[in-house]
Structure 1
C-alpha cells in the first residue's frame, strides 16, 4: 500500500550547515506560525533555550515519517532515532492539522 504524500504549505527554511543546525529555533521569542525548519542531517532534537512548543517530525532519506513528537515542550529532548535522517520542526498542532503519521511521505 502506497502511503499518502503530504505537502506542508508553510515556508520551510533549511538548516543544513553546522551553525544553522546548532541554532535551530533557539532564542526566538514568538512561536513559529506558517513556517517550519528542516534540519539535515538530524535524528534528534533538544528544546533548550526554546520559548514555545513545537511539533517534531523525523524523516528517513526518502522523506518518510519514522517518528513524530506532538507539542514538544521547552527544555525537553528526544532520543536519537537510528532510522531518521532529517527533522522537520513545525508549529505545535501541525501534525494533527495535516494528518501526519508514521509512514507518511512529506513534501516541502
Structure 2
C-alpha cells in the first residue's frame, strides 16, 4: 500500500501528526520504546506494522537515532544519583535515624 507522507496518523502517546513526522519520531525512540508505541491511520484506524514503518523510513531517508528517551526512565536513572548525593551530605546521626525509621516502617 502506498502511503502519503502528509497523511494524518496518530502516534500512540504523542497525538496526531503527519505520517512522515510520526515515522521520524518513532525511529528516534529507543528500540525498547518502539515496541510499546504504535502508529494508527486516522482514516481507517489501521495499525501500521513495525516492518512497514521501517520500510517507509528507509524509502524516505529517515534514519534511526534512538535519542528520544522516556521521561519516566530518565527520572528512574537519576534517583540513585540524588540519593547518593543526599547520603554524602547528610550527617551521621541523621543517617542513623533514617535507617532506624526505615527498619520500623518495613516491619509494619
Shorter-chain TM-score tier: under 0.3
Higher relative contact order (CA 8 A, sep 6+): 1
Per residue, is there more helix in 1 or in 2?
2
After TM superposition, the score normalised by the length of structure 1 is 0.24
Per residue, is there more strand in 1 or in 2?
1
Larger Rg: 2
After TM superposition, the score normalised by the length of structure 2 is 0.24
